[in-house]
Structure 1
Amino acid sequence: MSQAISLHGLYYYFEKRVVSLPLIAVHAEGSIKDFVAQVKLTQTYSNDATVPIEAKYSFPIPARATVCSFVMIKQDGTRVVGSVQEKQEAREAYNAAVSHGQQASLMEQQTPDVFQVSVGNIPSNEQVQIELAYATELAEDEENDSIRFHLPVHIGARYGTPPQSAPSPFSSTAFISSSSKTPFLNIAMSVEAIAPISKIGCPSHTVSTELGPDPKLPNFTELPFSNYARVSLSSDSALDKDFVLTIKSVGLDTPRCIAEPHPTRDTVALGLTLVPRFKLPDLSRQEFVFLVDRSGSMRRKRIEAAKKALIVMLRALPHQESLFQIASFGDYITFLWNDGSKPYNQETLEAATRHVDGMDADYGGTDIQYALEQCFRARKRDRPMSLLVLTDGDAWDLDRVLSAVKSAVVGTPANAFLRVSVLGIGNSASTAMCEGIARLGNGTCMMVGEEETSFTGKIARMLRATRTPPISNISVDWGRAAAKEEMVATSDEDEFEIVDETNEKRALNIFDETDDPIEVDSTLAPQPPPVVLPPPPAVQQAPFKLEKLFPTIRLHVYAILQGKAIPETVVIRGSTANGAEIELPIGVTLSRLQTAPGAPPAVHALAAREIIQDLEDGRHALVATLANSDDNDLLARTVKASVVRLGKTYSISSSHTSFVAVAESMHTLPPTSMHYSAPPQAHSPGSRGATSQSASPYGVRSGSSAAPAVHARDYQPSAISTAAGSRGVESAAPFPREGGGTRSLAPEEPKQSQADGQDFAASPPSKWKTSRSAPQPQAVRGAPVEDESSANALEALARLQSFDGCFSLEVLGIIKLATDIQTVRNMFPVGATDRIVATVVALAFLSMKLGAFLDRDSWEGIYDKAQQYVEAALQNMAMTETVDMLETKVAGMLA
């Protein structure tokens, strides 16, 4: 296997050589408001060849994002704005323009998170800019009231054959680069929160952070200072890993619904989000399977972090009537137990622990489709199954991977349903694949960055979701059918209603802090006529059907309503298998997002993308509208027509729509006569059969379509990168430190640099002092900050927990007491065993010591299990003391 070839910028292939176009500048500008971010990417290239050329490159965006604006800017400043057309029509328009010597550009979706741009007839010795904008929703981060922004810069190594074929690899000596200046990168992000920002972190890079609104805003002096921030990064070197930004602010998890009237169309888009916080009894009799990627790319930090997370998660499994299994995959798949999942007990837990300790990243490539199919085939059929996938890979044939998941999930009986959740690890994991598997698997998806060496908290959150009983019949009342007076919600009663077996209602908080078909009118003919769609329905919702609602997992729901009327309230309703009925009214507010010039409104674009995703997934009611429900060809054409209409209406790129920009010029260039030969594929180490994808969004990818012109090398560059090193920042305002005391720094500079995260005081100053060495992270308002020693202590403690949740006095090898063990025993009721004493000591240590440094999600599973053990033991002994009472006593005796 050959090494991935690292190339930079834009390429074309000429006379058996790959020739690069100098990347002059890259600028990423973003705005974060509510739960949505808008991003504008501008890349400037120069053609230093002596002839006009046509070049191609590929770039990634998050799978949950949608490209909604595309502009080609000529050297004379002329802006050629792209329009959305049906995919084949756009390609034909582009090819026709290039053949006539016109300058043109085309942007096409290759996968939901990979787009290709073609730029034709770039004049000799001239520059060209490609400017595109996309909107993306934000995911929750590790802590409560925190969100995560992700700017991908890599297209990872992908298993299988890319969409466009290429001949066999050849030596990297065949590649040459034209002389070029060092790429120059600027990233500028503005953040606006609904409450004071308490923390901004950048776990991927060293950035400059400035608190307060942009002085350029017209009402700058009237805006709340601490609700705004600006983050910037400037570098002369290539960005070698994804850019990640985290924001923490009170209220980010609260239920919210924003409304966005369209400026030119008679529609309103609504975006609803919340992070549910409720607790239901664990789902009983379930099978848990951990599917772990052990391909070569998982080596070193990734596999070690996965092993630590597994050690803790194995202790968090329900100990009654659970089956479990560990599968490892790469080029092939193996199971811990070849004869199927085993009952969860002390013997099998110890065997699984030994197996995890022996894991290494030595399974070659990443054939995830085969691994998933084998897990589905081996599952038990008498109970629900939860499959948790840990992977850093991807597959080009995304449709087949997702089809395997969909086929396995569809048709499973209610008492033996299937859930598939995914933890995507590092730059190479595709958001399209990971989120697609979880979406069709009715599970959850979380992503961890390249530099995040511990993800126990995230996988714990996924595991908690798998233990939650399904909530069915979930629906959203968007206010179109009911009268306005029937939808009035009180601000302090955001509660669910549960009906128990006695028919007596009780309240269940899901947040403790505060079907519409697209009909078709088409007839069959020997030559299929174009599908004629009726006007859109009054309400278009995405997801089409809400299949899941999990605690601590952010829920996003969108709708496009016909008409300008904005509902005052929307209502979520549903029920559980045990008869619980839920109802949550949420007030509607106007969106504060400003539409970028030339781009469609962001919430409309995101809603349209989600509706398109449902159509592509087959989640729609179109088949019921067909004259012949068995006509699969008609159904496919109806789905395509619906996707095209949405793409054109809301100006977004999709699987069936593309952006094309053609310059109208009196002076056309002679069409280029040089011919393109498809460039080679290369393979990355540890990824057998995977095309090389070590790249940035500002570069190109292996595999291109052959076309009669000079084309870019469709290869993965690593186009932009930040310099190594980090700076720490200390707030000028005093705040408590661990162990007492405060720190206070005089303000010096208006900006700060940071490597991982900065906690801001409640009343931050307008200036910050920059420190040359990074201080230890400080907690804000009780928020935990994870460190490696605490994560190691958690793993060591987890190894000592028995399958039923109890501990022995071996915990005293990890937990230090301020007194002797006999004094601690004397605080317990007569008859309390050593296991009860040790388990309470472990509970106190988790909540009082590790809880100050680790996110609760990472240790809550083993804590809850230990607490249940002590509760049951005290009840059997008829003791009046409670677990909380004993834990409070012991907490005061910890060293």
Structure 2
Amino acid sequence: MKLNILYLAVLIFIGNNLFAQEETTESPYFQVENELPKDFDPSSFALINSNVSVQVSGIIAEITVEQEYTNNSDLTLNTNYVFPGSSQSAIYYMEMELNGRVIKAKIKEKEEAKEIFETAKKEGKSASLLTQHRPNVFQMSLANIKPKSTVFVRFKYTETLIPNKKTYEFVFPTLVGPRYATIEMAAKDSWVKNPFTNKDAANYQGNKPTFSLDLKLNAGMPIKQASWFSHPNANVLYLSESKLESSIINSKNTIGDFIFRYQLAGDEIATGLLLYEGEEENFFLCTIQPPARPTQTSIPPRDYIFIVDISGSMNGFPIEVSKKLINSILRGLNEKDRFNILLFAGSSEQFKTVLVPATSSYINEAMNFINNQEGYGGTEILPAIERSLKMMDDNGRSSTVIIATDGLVTVEREAIALIEDNLGKANFFPFGIGQSSNRYIIEALANAGMSEAFICSTEDEALKKAAEFKEMVTNPILTDIKVKFNGMKTYDVLPKNVPDLFGDKPLVVFGKYKSATDGKIIVRGQNADGKFNKEFNTSEGIQSPENGALKYLWARQKIKMLSDYNRAEPTGKLKDEIIELGLNYNLLTEFTSFVAVDDSQDQATEKSVPLPAVSDSSGAVPEPHEWTLIIVGLFLLSFLIVSRLNVSK
């Protein structure tokens, strides 16, 4: 019995630690699968150039990325390239070009795509495989890159640009970033120390790839100003009052993201209705500019419930910064506002049984309540969210739930669904803090609440972001928002419930429709001036084949929601739904991949470097969860062997 308990304890310990590591594992930069000869010249194979074309129309950005790989060696090579991308992107197309031949990739279920790729590799055929590791980390695998040859891989994606403080921002995460191959990372991933794989290494022997980006903007409204925040010396050419273009050519300064920002004249926000009629489905996207920001005296009465994680992992600066954030927000309220505090770990405790006025005496008492608590135990967030919602009365007030946590919590699918179902009743803002924050969970909470994910890993960063966070959550602009569709048969509308609007962000609603003849989209709410009412006639909407991106954007949002559910509580049904969406809408997801195989070529006869025997079944570095399964399997095998030995004795 003691032996059984020991093995169970070891399994639990290793499993928990490996799953925790999955949240912090860095992405490698480059990997060559072959066993290379000692005299191999690392500069003979490289990603030598990346070209990015960006077309922004209104709030929709269409991006085409071309990666150029060259093999100048005498060997046939197999490689993996892991790179960052936008977590908001909907990747819907990929192709590979070899010797002038263009092979269009097919979307397949992830395991099927991998099998097709591995088969092509064994048969000596050139192939490419694009997979998603995480929403913002992707892997390009190339098989049988022939000697003295060049391979072009192109993929396309789309995303929406939602303004913040009336500033639009397009971000292209660099394909060569220190976050993915720094000296500090080398301590975690030892093979990154190889000067062939680490482009930032002082002894790197290869050529750093060049990077070019061409951006064209058609804002649809007069542009006030525009510039590259990341590259201030880049030229911006205005073609008209609403159009411009800008290019960054052959840049080798690719450390950091490429960030382009612009504002519309009169501090306007693009507002209107976009329609797209497809062969089988029709899609719409409606953007509503919020009313003017109210003065402090005209802000509607506000209710705040702070859900504070006091589990053991929050000890130190995370809990101290959380206290400062709460104190700062409370001191900025007035006596018509109300608040309460719920602390959660193994169980949850609350400051008061009801919401209380934000008076100095109550605030002082509340801070003493928090200061007298110590971090302990595990973390379950669902009961705290349920208790907070029971306190909300939503009677002409802006009700907000603020969740301060490091994300190392138990978040059930019911918790995410509870937030989504109650957006019309309350607003939800997560504030992630801690060196080992679980970004997935914090982003899932933000996605469910249609808010922003504030995530801070250091105390200095947390203190700076706390001020920005306070500015956002204390300024509700439009409350009690209701969206109705008259004379327009809609379905699969996202979001299904609408939270209050904060700051200067617009309201964005999109979905599918069967009929839009003489229909109306009506948005009603409460603002500083009383009732807010905005109507959009579908006959005035912009209907164009160029709005085809709407179907990808809708599907991407739906997939994101299902993925959040699946991470919180994995089920086969959710996985099947994500796969179905990926296949139906031709989208890269965590369970679907793009694969392209050059079937026109003869079997490879060139000199090829053999792969290690252990690499025969996989074309990539095992994921953290794969290592978990391998190690757990070994322990189970050892457990069975030892158990049988004990029985035989």
Q: TM-score, normalised by structure 1?
A: 0.51
Match in the other structure for 1:543: 494
Cα 1:64–1:371 change in 2 (3 A) is: farther
User: Which of these residues, 252, 255, 259, is aligned with residue 244 of structure 1?
Assistant: 259
User: What displacement does 1:464 show?
Assistant: 3.4
Question: What's 1:86 paired with?
Answer: 109
Query: What is the Cα deviation at residue 71 of structure 1?
Result: 1.4
1:38 is matched with which residue: 40, 47, 62? 62
Shift of 1:79: 1.7
1:661 corresponds to: 596
Secondary structure of the residue aligned to 2:416 is helix
In the alignment, is the contact (CA less than 8 A) between 2:30 and 2:79 conserved in 1? Answer: no
Q: Deviations over 1:534-583 (max 9, x none)?
A: xxxxx443416124242443322222335xx654553135678xxx9975
C-alpha distance in 1 between matches for 2:178 and 2:593? 23
Equivalent of residue 571 in structure 1, options 521, 546, 568: 521
1:405 touches 1:440 (CA, 8 Å); kept in 2?
no
Cα deviation 1:465-523 (Å, max 9, x = unaligned): 6x689637x44427444xxxxxxxxxxxxxxxxxxxxxxxxxxxxxxxxxxxxxxxxxx
Q: Distance in 2 between matches of 1:91 and 1:52?
A: 20
Q: Deviations over 1:61-103 (max 9, x none)?
A: 33332001111222x1322211222333322222222222111
Establish whether residue 436 from structure 1 lines up as the match of residue 444 from structure 2: yes
Residues 437 and 457, structure 2, Cα contact 8 Å, conserved in 1? no
**Which residue, 41, 49, 55 being the options, matches 2:79?**
55
SS of aligned partner of 2:492: strand
Q: How does 1:666-685 map onto structure 2 within 5 Å? A: 666-669=601-604, 673-675=610-612
**Matches of 1:568 and 1:590 in 2, distance apart?**
11
1:648 corresponds in structure 2 to 583
Shift of 1:148: 2.0
Query: Which secondary structure state, in structure 2, belongs to the residue aligned with residue 610 of structure 1?
Result: helix
Letter in 2 for 1:82: A
For residue 198 of structure 1, give the secondary structure of its aligned residue in structure 2. Answer: strand
Q: Which of residues 235, 238, 242 in structure 2 aligns to 1:212?
A: 238
Match of 2:134 among 92, 111, 117: 111
Inter-partner Cα distance in structure 1 for 2:433 and 2:56: 24
Query: How far off its partner does 1:710 sit?
Result: 6.5
2:272 and 2:551 map into 1 onto residues whose CA distance is 17
Does structure 1 conserve the Cα–Cα contact (< 8 Å) formed by 2:96 and 2:104? yes
2:88 maps to which of 57, 64, 81 = 64
Distance 1:377 1:156 in 2: 38
Instruction: Check whether the contact 1:256–1:587 (CA below 8 A) recurs between aligned residues.
Output: no
| 1:151 corresponds to which of 138, 161, 172 | 172
CA distance in 1, matches of 2:215, 2:407: 29
Matches of residues 258-277 of structure 1 in structure 2 within 5 Å?
Answer: 258-262=274-278, 265-277=279-291
Please give the alpha-carbon distance, in whole angstroms, between the structure 2 residues aligned to 1:438 and 1:582.
Answer: 26
Q: Which residue of 2 aligns with 1:346?
A: 360
Structure 2 counterpart of 1:276, which letter? P
Unpaired stretches in structure 2, ≥5 consecutive residues: 1-20, 181-186, 198-204, 393-398, 625-649
Counterpart in the other structure of 1:98: 121
- SS of residue paired to 1:288: strand
SS of alignment partner, residue 241 of structure 2? helix
Following the alignment from structure 1 to structure 2, what is the Cα–Cα distance between the partners of residues 211 and 479? 43
AA aligned to 2:51 is: H
1:151–1:242 Cα contact (<8 Å) kept? yes
In the TM superposition, residue 292 of structure 1 has moved relative to its aligned partner by 11
Q: Distance in 2 between matches of 1:458 and 1:110?
A: 30
* Structure 1 residue 636, shift from structure 2 partner: 4.9
**Secondary structure at 1:230's aligned position in 2?**
strand
Is structure 2 residue 162 aligned with structure 1 residue 139?
yes
Instruction: Tell me the equivalent position of 1:585.
Output: 535
Question: In structure 1, what is the Cα distance between the partners aligned to 2:257 and 2:320?
Answer: 21
Distance change >3 Å, CA 85–CA 462, structure 1 → 2: same
Residue 606 in structure 1 maps to residue 629 in structure 2? no
Q: Deviations over 1:407-439 (max 9, x none)?
A: 66489899xx7643146899x999865543123
Q: Deviations over 1:683-710 (max 9, x none)?
A: xxxxxxxxxxxxxxxxxxxxxxx65466
Counterpart residue number, 1:181: 207
Residue identity over aligned pairs, in percent, reads: 17
**Which structure is higher in RCO with an 8 Å CA cutoff and minimum separation 6?**
1
* SS of alignment partner, residue 277 of structure 1: coil
2 CA distance for matches of 1:9 and 1:471? 50
Work out the CA distance in 1 between the residues paired with 2:105 and 2:564. Answer: 28
Residue type matched to 2:480 in 1?
A: I
Structure 1, residues 584-605: CA drift from partner, whole Å, max 9, x if none?
321445659885xxxx931221
- 2:381 pairs, out of 373, 393, 399, with 373
Instruction: Label 1:324 to 1:48 Cα distance change in 2 as closer, same or farther (>3 A).
Output: farther
Tell me what 2:17 maps to: none
Change (3 A) 1:349 1:172: farther
Query: Does 1:463 pair with 2:482?
Result: no
* Cα pair distance change 1:246/1:454, threshold 3 Å: farther
Amino acid in structure 1 at the alignment position of 2:496: K
- Any residues of structure 2 matched to 1:134-533 within 5 Å, and which? 134-142=157-165, 144=166, 146-153=167-174, 171=190, 175-177=194-196, 179-213=205-239, 225-234=240-249, 236-237=251-252, 239-250=254-265, 252-253=268-269, 255-262=271-278, 265-277=279-291, 282=300, 286-289=304-307, 313-320=329-336, 322-323=338-339, 340=351, 344-346=358-360, 373=381, 376=384, 383-384=391-392, 386-388=400-402, 403=413, 405-406=415-416, 409=419, 419-422=427-430, 434-441=442-449, 443-445=451-453, 458-460=468-470, 462-464=472-474, 471=480, 474-477=482-485, 479-481=487-489
> 1:256 touches 1:273 (CA, 8 Å); kept in 2?
yes
Aligned residue pairs total 557
1:175 alignment partner AA: N
Deviation at residue 651 of structure 1 after TM alignment: 2.0
Contact persistence 1:207–1:231 (CA under 8 A): no
> Distance between the aligned counterparts of 2:484 and 2:119, measured in 1?
47
Q: Greater share of helix residues, 1 or 2?
A: 2
Change (3 A) 1:647 1:38: same
Give the superposition deviation at 1:347. Answer: 5.6
Which amino acid counterpart does residue 290 of structure 2 have in structure 1?
Answer: P
CA displacement 1:846-873 (0-9 Å, x = unmatched): xxxxxxxxxxxxxxxxxxxxxxxxxxxx
Distance 1:126 1:292 in 2: 57
The 2-side partners of 1:618 and 1:257 are apart by 30
Q: Are 2:511 and 1:559 equivalent residues in the alignment?
A: yes
Deviation at 1:149, TM superposition (A): 1.7
- CA RMSD between the two structures: 5.5
Map of 1:844 onto structure 2: none
Q: Summarize the Cα distance change of 1:711–1:87 in structure 2 as closer, same or farther, 3 Å threshold.
A: closer
Alpha-carbon distance, 1:257 to partner: 0.8
Q: Which segment drifts farther, 204-213 or 431-440? A: 431-440
Q: What is the Cα deviation at residue 198 of structure 1?
A: 0.8
Larger radius of gyration, structure 1 or 2? 1
SS of aligned partner of 1:127: strand
Q: Match of 1:798?
A: none
